[in-house]
Structures are given as C-alpha cells and as structure tokens.
Structure 1
Amino acid sequence: MPRASRPLAEALADRVVILDGGLSNQLADQGCDLSGGLWSGRVLAGRPDQVEAAHAAYARAGAEVLITASYQVGYDAFAAHGYDRDGTTALLHRSVALAARAAEAADHEVWVAASVGPYGAVLADGSEYRGCYGRGVRELAAFHRPRIEALLAAGADVLALETIPDAEEAEALLGVLAGTGAAAWLTYTVDGPRTRAGQPLTEAFALAAGAPEIIAVGVNCCDPADVLPALEAAASVTPKPLVAYPNDGSVWEAATATWHTPPHPVPWPVEAWRTTGARLIGGCCRIGPPDITELAAGTWGGGGRH
C-alpha cells in the first residue's frame, strides 16, 4: 500500500492510530553510534540507511505514523559541526525522505510526521526536561521557523511538535504555524500536573485549543503514570484528539547520559487513555518495535525493552 493519501486528522476522526516508538533506542539496537551532541542527527548525517532501516522496523511492527530523525537537527548546532545552512536544510529534507521511503514500502497506511524537537534538544544537555531557557517567545520563534519551513517544504504529512517542556515555547511554535495551513500535533513533556517548566497543564493545553493548525494535543517522553492525568487536563480545555507516547518509566540523567530503569514494569492503562480521547498512541524512549507490535495488537501492558 502506498503512503497514506488522506490527512491524518481524517483518520483520527475514525479510529486510534498507532505511532512508532523511540528512534534513538532502535538505532542503538542496530549498532549505531549516537555519542556526541548530534545524537540521532549523527546517524542521519552519516548512516541514513540505518535511519531508514529503523523506520522500516517500526512500519513492520505495525506503526502507522513514522516520526522523522529531525528532532535534534538545528542550524546552529549543526553549524558547530561544520554544516552550512544548505547542508542542514538538506539533512532536514533527508529525514522526511527516509521516513517516506519506509512508509511507501509498508503494507498498510502510514503517515510521515516531521519531528520538531524543543530548543533544549539541540543544546544536548537535558534542557528539554527543564525548559525555562532564558529565551523569549520571539527568540524561540526565530529558532524554530527555519526548521519548520524546511520540514514542510520536504513534504511531511504532519509536524510533531514534541517533547515541549515549556508553555512559552509552545506559544512560539503556535505563532510560527499560524496561517500556514500546516497540520501538527503538540505534545508536552510533563512532571505530574505541570509542564517541566512548571506551568499548569490546563493552561498549557489551552494555548492550542483555538489553533486550527493543531490537530491533536497530548504528552510524550514522560512517565507512563503521568499520561492519564495529563490527557484529562487536555480534554478539559479542548475537544481535539489526544496524543500519548510515553517512555517506559525510566528516568534520563543528562549528566551521565544514562537511563535509570524502574525495578518493575510500569503498566500502561491504554484503554483508559482511549476512553479519555487518545487517538494517537505509541511510545517514546526505550520503547521498541516489539512493544509497538503488542500495542497495535491490543496486548500491550507496558514495561518496554522486550
């Protein structure tokens, strides 16, 4: 079956759509070197075949949305590694093309979501889990605008404004999208009932309630236990479809670049997420293709790293 020809928003009106899992952990499992500040962007630049293989693994597992390897690709960050502006734009375009090839080879309907990671991601110091960068809305919009323009020009089906830790950054992103006619989802990374930067989730989600470009809102890259309360907060301020793709319950320590895994699997009350309004469901860090297979089959109970 060719890549999905209808808008993702149309599918969300009918059913739950399955997202992929963590790209970085799949690349690591394929033997790729993700060390250094460019993270998965390093593989995108040096081993694009491995990125396509990772996307294909998720498509085979049943994922219906493939999220591109553009999360950590930023013009300033890549300039520090010798890439000029055209070179970075080419990598952003490549990220979409690789996911599109995997989508076109799938035997089911698949959409390509261009990842727009937060400003903190390109700093490679864990800032996406804190927010409060000391940058205003105007500065953050200036940072995101060229990345978004490049990803839209590459033909992505939808933008994944993901792992956003700060409502102020969400405001900047919404401003960049305003009037473009683009489709995007917005997901925060959260700590209990608040964004990582400390804003109440109801206020953070309310920012997107009236934005026509935003087709769904929710959370990603968070503890599974934080998902349901966050979805309930979102549902209280917007009727938009909801999104959930948490981690496996592990905690990332940026200083040592290591994950701390809980002693017992964290259950995922997927049915409760669906009842609350979740229509895009998948996994983030440390969730791999076997987990997505179980999620697509309705047998997923949580835990990750099978």
Structure 2
Amino acid sequence: MNPIERILAEYPLMILDGAFSTELERRGCDLNDPLWSAKVLMENPDMIGSVHEDYFKAGADCAITASYQATFAGFMRRGLTKQEAKELIQLSVSIATKVRDSFWADPVNRTNRPKPLVAASVGPYGAFVADGSEYRGNYGLTREGLEDFHRERMATLIEAKPDILACETIPCLIEAQAIVNVLKEHPDISAWISFSAKDGTCINSGERIEDCARWLDGYPQVAAIGINCTAPEFVESLILEIRKGSNKPIIVYPNSGEQYDAVTKTWHGSSTGMCYGDIAKQWFEKGAKLIGGCCRTTPDDIRQIALWGREL
C-alpha cells in the first residue's frame, strides 16, 4: 500500500500545502532567478523550514519539498560542484523531514489528522530551462532524452528517503511517460503525476488529460493523478475528465487564478475572488481526494480547506 492509499483508507481527504515561492517572497526572498526557490536552499535553508512549519500548522498533511527547480545542471551552472549540488538536492528532503518529525512529536498536533508526508518535488524539464516551457510542453526532446534529464535527480531525491515523489507541473504526456520509466527503476517508491493544463480538457501540450490519465492508470507506482499550477476555473472539468481515464485518487492544487508571465516572471490579474476553501470543497465533491494550492496560494488558503476537511 502506498502512502497516499494508507491515508485515504482512514481519512476521506488528504490536504496538501500551498505555494512555496509566495511564502518565501513574503519573507523577503528575491526569486527572480533561474534557480527560483531552489536558490534559497543555497542561501537560507532555515527559511524553507519555517514555510513547511507554517503549512503544517495550517493543516497540511504533506510538505512538498523545495526541489522543484533543483537540478544538477542548474546548480553546477551556478558554479557548484556535482557533490555540492547533490547535497543541496537532498537537503530539500531532509529539511522537510526534520520539520515534519518535530511537528509530529508534539501530541497536540496529532488530533484528527494523519502523520504528514514528505513529497519530494520533481519539476519538469521546462523548470530547469526557466523559459516558461512547462506552460507549453514543446521541448523538442525525445522520451529517452527526458529520461536522462530526470534519472539522476530522481535517484538522488529517492536516496534522501522522502515518503513519495511529487512529479508536478508536467506539460506533456511524453514527459510523464519518461518519469514513469525512470520510476520503474526504483520499485520501492511511489509518485503522483500532476499536469499543468490550459483549459478544462487539455494539458498545456494540447493533449487530452483523459488520455494521459488512461495511460498512467496501468502503473501501480503512480499513486495519484491530477493537475497543479492551473487556473481554478478549469479544475472541476479536469477532475471529471481524469475520472474518465482512471480510478486512481485525483490530486488538485491549482494556482490562485492570477496569470503568470514567463518572460517577466511576474503575476498579473486577480484571484478568483471566492473563498479558496469553498471552491476546494466543490472539487472534493466532484471527486478530488488530495487538495491543496499552487502559485500564489497561502497558509490561510490551506487553513480554509482544513476547516471543513477535518469535519468529514
């Protein structure tokens, strides 16, 4: 039984954390950098721990590590050695694990909730390129090329002993297939696969999410299928489309509804205007079993989900 299955066997909902970069920026970090939040692993790892702690206190049953944009090539391009890069990638897991264990050691924090998981974030190839291609999926790489890109980093994260991998913001099926192929090299770990979508039917590459879910459905190491970093108004439809292709647990953690400019690396527009917890409840009623937030969401948004989620 994988970690998600164990939690859902006892609880009807697993609550994820929210945006990491938003909280780091609120604490004064400048993330306008190709390494994005992974830069803080180099500069201020204690701040990463404080963000994890805030989300646990808000009600999150899972900490997604600060490794989304942490890659060997990215760190080495910054002048680090390969060993230094490996240590930073693994540091993202050890920080989250240490904070989780400290949080769980206090009996006050154990009421009516599961022990939180540590999910090692595996960002897409486009996050390394840092040109916004994770919102398009037009890499021009073969599946084998994508496997080569992901293989060493996934092995490094797995070596640090997270509970699960969070393979997130995947824009195209070929990258999901590459990740699954690498995952099969590590039969003792599970992962969720979360796509970025451009509308209520298709992921960012234009492929139907129903077809993606159907392809992933046959792989037992894939513990959940869903979407993240996607506009909230598309989520309800996407849940229904995923269910057509798979009976695996559905995971959703969209952004706040603002629009991201990949060139200027800034956000524009406004959020949905609705209470995030209220919309999240609608997603639960449509079939999502793992719910949290992505870019621009906050611990307050996660707290709103916990208000009703703990009463189920």
Match of 1:21 in 2: 18
Match of 1:101 in 2: 98
Deviations 1:183-209 (CA, angstroms, capped at 9, x unpaired): 110100001111101111111111210
Deviations 1:106-161 (CA, angstroms, capped at 9, x unpaired): 22321100000000001111111111100110000000011110111101000000
1:69-80 correspondence to structure 2 within 5 Å: 69-80=66-77
State whether structure 2 residue 273 is matched by structure 1 residue 265: yes
Deviations 1:233-284 (CA, angstroms, capped at 9, x unpaired): 1111111010010001001001122101227515653333223321110000
User: 4+ residue stretches of structure 1 with deviation over 4 A?
Assistant: none
1:119-158 correspondence to structure 2 within 5 Å: 119-158=125-164
The count of aligned residue pairs is 294
Secondary structure of 2:245 counterpart:
coil
1:1-306 correspondence to structure 2 within 5 Å: 7-14=3-10, 15-106=12-103, 107-108=109-110, 109-181=115-187, 182-192=189-199, 193-262=201-270, 265-266=273-274, 269-298=279-308
Secondary structure of 1:252 counterpart:
strand
Secondary structure of 2:78 counterpart:
coil
Amino acid at match of 1:143: F
Deviations 1:154-192 (CA, angstroms, capped at 9, x unpaired): 010000000000111001001111252211101000011
Kept in 2: contact 1:225–1:266 (CA 8 A): no
Secondary structure of 1:169 counterpart:
helix
Secondary structure of 1:190 counterpart:
coil
Q: Relative to 1, partners in 2 of residues 1:58 and 1:267: Cα closer, same or farther, differing over 3 Å?
A: closer
C-alpha distance in 2, partners of 1:118/1:264?
Answer: 26
> Counting helix residues as a fraction of each chain, which structure ranks higher?
2
Deviations 1:29-59 (CA, angstroms, capped at 9, x unpaired): 1112212211101101110001111111111
- 1:91, distance to aligned residue in structure 2 (A): 0.8
**What TM-score results when the alignment is normalised by the length of structure 2?**
0.91
**What TM-score results when the alignment is normalised by the length of structure 1?**
0.92
- 1:298, distance to aligned residue in structure 2 (A): 2.2
Match of 2:106 in 1: none
5+ residue gaps, structure 1? 1-5, 300-306
Kept in 2: contact 1:132–1:197 (CA 8 A): yes
Amino acid at match of 1:134: G
Kept in 2: contact 1:231–1:278 (CA 8 A): yes
Match of 1:3 in 2: none
C-alpha distance in 2, partners of 1:201/1:111?
Answer: 26
- 1:8, distance to aligned residue in structure 2 (A): 2.8
5+ residue gaps, structure 2? 104-108
Secondary structure of 2:50 counterpart:
helix
Amino acid at match of 1:151: L
C-alpha distance in 1, partners of 2:154/2:271?
Answer: 39
